[in-house]
Amino acid sequence: SPFILRRKKEEVLPDLPDLIEITHQSELSDAQKAIYLAQLQQMQQGLISASDQEINRRKVEILSGITRLRQICDTPALFMDYAGDSGKLDSLRELLSQIKESDHRVLIFSQFRGMLDITEGLLQELGISSYKLTGSTPSDSRQEMTRAFNQGSRDAFLISLKAGGTGLNLTAADIVIHYDPWWNLAVQNQATDRAHRIGQQNVVSVYRLFMKDTIEERIRALQERKRELADEILSGEGIGQALISR
């Protein structure tokens, strides 16, 4: 202390296959957009004339509203009886169809357990076999599913970001899909490392799905700012400026 020794993965593991990141942007369907705008308007009306003190008291309510907006971006079916289309779910369907045709194997991460359930139904519809890991999955079952997946028993693995973002070795997959963005990109990168790690023999493609003109674009911008700040500080380029600012 106060020194940090940093080793980058590409320096320590020069033989590790490349990692390709793809940002996949979709648009809200008409029905989805109507629900999104109604939720947004309701939140704005409740806050437009609120004082700082009142906003501070209503933090839990505000965070709940933001979570609801994020769920609508996935599909309103996560919290309501909804039979309409979802732009992002349609994009996922198209992407999974391409993956099936090309014989790739895939990890799909989401923060919402309900989204994993919906995606599981989509995989069954497309004839893609899968495992699912959530916070309620017993430790023994996790190990067994991991072993079986790496031996080729099924083609997809649905994983809760918080429950399975670390501690798993799933190098049998060469495609990773992040269905919904998290505020901290490092958490998603850790999840990606379930496939892009020692033992991986193929180039790994990572798809990050976003909805255009929604809160997910704000989350994406926040992720990039955090990434740039971390790179500047860890490379030493931002330390001088940080000291000047202080």
Give the other-Cβ count within 10 Å of 86's Cβ: 24
pTM of the full predicted structure?
0.89
**Average per-residue pLDDT for the chain:** 91
Cβ partners under 8 Å of residue 155, min gap 6: 100, 105, 106, 128, 129, 130
Nearest CA-CA partner of 179 in 210, 147, 222: 210
Calculate what percentage of the chain has a pLDDT beyond 70.
Answer: 95
The amino acid that residue 226 corresponds to is: K
Query: Which residue do the tokens 């500080």 mark?
Result: 233
Check whether the bond before 2 is cis (ω within 30° of 0).
yes
Longest alpha-carbon distance in the chain? 58
Q: Is 118 exposed, middle or buried (0-12, 13-18, 19+ CB in 10 A)?
A: buried
Contact predicate 184/192, CB 8 Å? no
Q: What is the pLDDT of residue 235?
A: 74
- Which helix (H) or strand (E) covers residue 177, if one does? strand 175-178
Residue 144 is predicted with a pLDDT of 95
Q: What is the pLDDT of residues 196-245, one digit of tens each?
A: 999 999 999 999 999 999 999 999 999 999 888 888 877 766 554 544 44
CA distance 32 to 72: 7
